[in-house]
Structure 1
Amino acid sequence: MSAPTPRRPSGLTWTVLRLHRTALYAWGAVLLAAAAVLTWMHVIGPDVRAAVGNCGSPGAVAADCARLQTTTVDEIHTYGLDLVATGVTYLLYPVAAWAAAALIGRELESGTAQLAWTQSVTPVRWLVAKLTVPAVLLTAGTALAVLLSAWARRAEDGDLIGGWFNTNVFISTGPVAVAYALAGLALGALAGLALRRALPAAGAAVASAFVLHSVLDQFRMSLWPAVTVTGRTALHLPTGSLALEHGAVTRHGERLGNDLACVGSGSSTSIGECVKRTGLTDFWATYQPESHFWPLQLVESGLLLAVAGLATAAAFALLRRRTP
């Protein structure tokens, strides 16, 4: 009596993983590399902060601090963090291209998808598996990269890690990174189904991802109401804030926008002298405080998930229209 043949994993999920194992291996390698870099950045973080910690003191020599920050921070700590942050920020593009070309477009172009539909797999089940498997892997992997990035960036000195409002820092340290990856997946799938050819679909997916990324990057700080202050508070905004606009009011009541007069004046005496010299009576400023990081993250994530949902719905509608 012969030994029973061991059963191999089967089903649509296994098929998707097997067909795209190269992409899976590449994704795993990227995550491991990012985890290694970020772990190292976290380990050396205290030493870097200690090295530049005295540069803010009154007795610090500016030239020495500049040289120290260039050799210690820019070339080691900040460079490593920025490298990973850039990869997470622009993950949208390779995901969109891969989804359009390899995940969907190539199978439609070669007839592999049509062959599967003639068997026990319906077009809807096929597309569900095609989107669900990479969506789960992208969500888990990107979330891990974001958590590691936020963990590695914990530092008291913001000069070491960049402002929270910088594009790469903002995206790579919050849930919006996961939403960007899912939006790229949905846009790529829609492009693949619409064009049914790998290369044109990849180009269209990358173009749509570029438009989405650019629009949100342009209007990000308008997604949540900014704070407006007047008086001398407008000259010294809270640490970590992003100043959107500074303004002043003249003695004639004229409101001037983007007027930087007296901004940065230290003491009350210097402010008073500046007021007399410029003929201003009041100041105002509009800014986004660091406390708005999470509201902005959640609003942008919601918009991206809405785009992903609409693109996914359009992909299913297009599939139903083109298949019996």
Structure 2
Amino acid sequence: MSAALQGLPRTVLRLHRTALLVWAAVVAGLTGWLVYLNEVTAAATRRAERACAHTDVCIDSFDRFDYGTTVGWIGTLICYTFLAVAAFAGGALVGRELESGTARLAWTQGVTPVRWLTAKLALPAVAVAAGGLTLVLAFRWGWSAGEDLIPVTHWYQSDIIVARGPLTVAYGLCALAVGALAALLLRRTLAALGAAFAAMWLLNFLLTRYRADLWPAITRTSGRSIELPDNAWRVNSGRNADGYFAVYHPASHFWPLQWVETGIVLAAAALTTAAAYAVLRRRAA
């Protein structure tokens, strides 16, 4: 193995250490926010609720609303971290080096294009996976610890369903691959950044729109109004010639829906990665 190849991971780390530090700060900040929310804010909200039992004037519902809204915002931020990953991969990670010509310079220093791209993607992939896993575990802990204080946020909301499972990691890895492919195709920093961002937004939009169809829903019919289980995701309902009907996902469908969508996103990541290497070989030939 050449000295140039041995030093490539160190070079990637040095070039992108600011992005790595920002990502670490985001993960630490959101995790710390969840800890504060559940150790301080939740305790204060529960004290206010207990005090409400002894007075006729009570505003604890506002405390609950604020708590639930904050949890929702954290879930949204965790969910859409993949858009930042796509922009970074398409722009600073790969696109900038292709546009400036430093990538071809590296290829003349004993590093093959394939090994160059592998080194460019390996460290960010580890960082994205580790950071995403940390955020998921923190959010799941926070959700479970304060679920009784969340009156307006449901398990099937788009942001929450991503933030509570491996979809966060899957979307992050897919965004990394999409960014690299966009950069290799366009070879312009801003164009690749925008294309990667748009492609990942579109993928998430489509999967969110059709998420209810990823796992068979339960259908119930009755001659009178149907009461669904607590926290069920009502997909469709109404009345027909046979009476009332309701199509829904119970809370137990969270994991089947999660794993199916995760598989789809990881498959997209694998195909995009393979396409990126195919484009690289053609460009470098």
TM-score by length of 2: 0.90
CA contact (8 A) 2:64 2:149 kept: no
Q: Per-residue deviation at 1:217?
A: 0.9
Pair 1:179 & 2:170 matched:
yes
Pair 1:314 & 2:275 matched:
yes
Distance 2:284 2:185 in 1: 13
CA contact (8 A) 1:230 1:284 kept: yes
Root mean square deviation of aligned Cα: 2.3
Aligned partner of 1:90 in structure 2 is 80
Q: 1:131 to 1:232 in 2, by over 3 A?
A: farther
Q: 1:292 to 1:54 in 2, by over 3 A?
A: farther
Distance 1:127 1:153 in 2: 38
Cα deviation 1:32-77 (Å, max 9, x = unaligned): 111110111221335435645899x9xx98xx66x4222x1333x2
Higher deviation after alignment, 100-109 or 11-20: 11-20
CA contact (8 A) 1:95 1:185 kept: yes
Cα deviation 1:212-241 (Å, max 9, x = unaligned): 011011011110000011227962110010
Select which of 285, 289, 296 maps to 2:246.
Answer: 285
Counterpart residue type for residue 152 of structure 1:
G
Cα deviation 1:247-290 (Å, max 9, x = unaligned): 224xxxx25xxxxxxxxxxxxxxxxxxxxxxxxxx322110100
Cα deviation 1:157-187 (Å, max 9, x = unaligned): 3744610000111111111111111111111
Structure 1's unaligned 5+ residue stretches are 1-9, 256-281
Aligned partner of 2:3 in structure 1 is none
Counterpart residue type for residue 284 of structure 2:
T
Counterpart residue type for residue 121 of structure 2:
L
Structure 2's unaligned 5+ residue stretches are 1-5
CA contact (8 A) 1:42 1:151 kept: no
Pair 1:37 & 2:33 matched:
yes
Q: Per-residue deviation at 1:14?
A: 1.4
Aligned partner of 1:299 in structure 2 is 260
Distance 2:43 2:220 in 1: 36
Distance 1:54 1:17 in 2: 53
Aligned length: 278
Select which of 102, 105, 117 maps to 2:107.
Answer: 117
CA contact (8 A) 2:72 2:153 kept: no
CA contact (8 A) 1:81 1:161 kept: no
Distance 1:125 1:68 in 2: 58
Distance 1:182 1:319 in 2: 19
Q: Per-residue deviation at 1:83?
A: 2.7
Q: Between the two proteins, what is the percent identity of the paired residues? A: 44
SS of residue paired to 1:165: coil
Pair 1:69 & 2:61 matched:
yes
Q: Per-residue deviation at 1:121?
A: 0.8
| Richer in helix (by share) | 2
Q: Per-residue deviation at 1:107?
A: 0.2
Q: 1:1-324 to 2 correspondence within 5 Å?
A: 11-44=7-40, 45-49=42-46, 51-52=48-49, 67-70=59-62, 72-75=63-66, 77-154=67-144, 155-157=146-148, 159-160=150-151, 162-231=153-222, 235-249=226-240, 254=241, 282-324=243-285
Aligned partner of 1:263 in structure 2 is none
Distance 1:108 1:174 in 2: 35
* Bigger radius of gyration: 1
CA contact (8 A) 1:37 1:80 kept: no
Distance 1:296 1:320 in 2: 37
Q: 1:317 to 1:78 in 2, by over 3 A?
A: same
Q: Per-residue deviation at 1:85?
A: 1.1
Q: 1:307 to 1:37 in 2, by over 3 A?
A: same
CA contact (8 A) 1:38 1:80 kept: no
TM-score by length of 1: 0.80
